[in-house]
Amino acid sequence: MMPYHWRWWTVVLRGLVAIAFGIFALFAPTKAYFSLVVLFGVFAVIDGVLAFGLGIKERAYHPGAMIARGAVSLAAGLITLFWPNITATALLILIASWAIVAGVIDIVMAVRLRSVIQHEWLLGLEGALSVAFGVLLFLAPLAGAVVLGLWVGAYALIFGGMLVEAGLRLRSYTHTVHEIEGTVAHAH
């Protein structure tokens, strides 16, 4: 049996960062617009680094998709952080584009991982929600910073919760695979 060394904790960590970002965005939507820009930039960079790292280290996790996901998140985060005076419309377009691309990648990964993990449909649902969120942002380009903060915060909470759940499922899967490998090794 091929050993899987899932980095489940990186998926959980990505989820926790998304949840923290969502809470900040929801509780401070009227704060300075700059704080939303910085929070999104930091979130996207951390998400990108973790996804990129998972893609490089984990061959069974379809590295191309994870590396692409990491690159998209890193690019969105770095653009945001190095352009702190970004306008609301430009930030909205950046976040919407990031959500759509990331969602499509998540859907592709769900299809590819369907024979490896259980409940892969949740990853597909996460991707579909991400695409829907991006489309909604494109449909309302003149939304104010408060509405943008609330939308982004709600999305990050849902996305983060789904990532935490997916990471815990991967942890369970890893333990099951290790138990099976141990039983097979002892039988020989």
Q: Which domain holds residue 39?
A: 8-187
Phi, psi torsion values for 48, nearest 5 degrees: -65, -45
Q: Please check whether residue 2 lies inside any domain of the structure.
A: no
Collect all residues with Cβ–Cβ distance below 8 Å to 170 and sequence separation of at least 6: 6, 8, 11, 117
CATH for 133: 1.25.40
Q: Please check whether residue 3 lies inside any domain of the structure.
A: no
Q: Please check whether residue 77 lies inside any domain of the structure.
A: yes
First vs last Cα of the chain: how many Å apart?
13
Q: Please check whether residue 85 lies inside any domain of the structure.
A: yes
Percent residues over pLDDT 70 in the chain: 77
Residue 18 pLDDT class (50, 70, 90 cuts) = confident
Q: Please check whether residue 132 lies inside any domain of the structure.
A: yes
DSSP state of 7: -
pTM of the model: 0.58
Q: Please check whether residue 1 lies inside any domain of the structure.
A: no
pLDDT, tens only, 42-80: 888 988 888 888 777 766 556 677 788 888 889 888 988
Q: Please check whether residue 164 lies inside any domain of the structure.
A: yes
Q: How many structural domains are present in the chain?
A: 1
pLDDT, tens only, 73-122: 898 889 888 886 776 677 778 888 888 988 898 888 888 877 777 777 88
Min mean pLDDT across 41-50, 86-95, 126-135, 172-181 is at: 172-181
Q: Please check whether residue 156 lies inside any domain of the structure.
A: yes
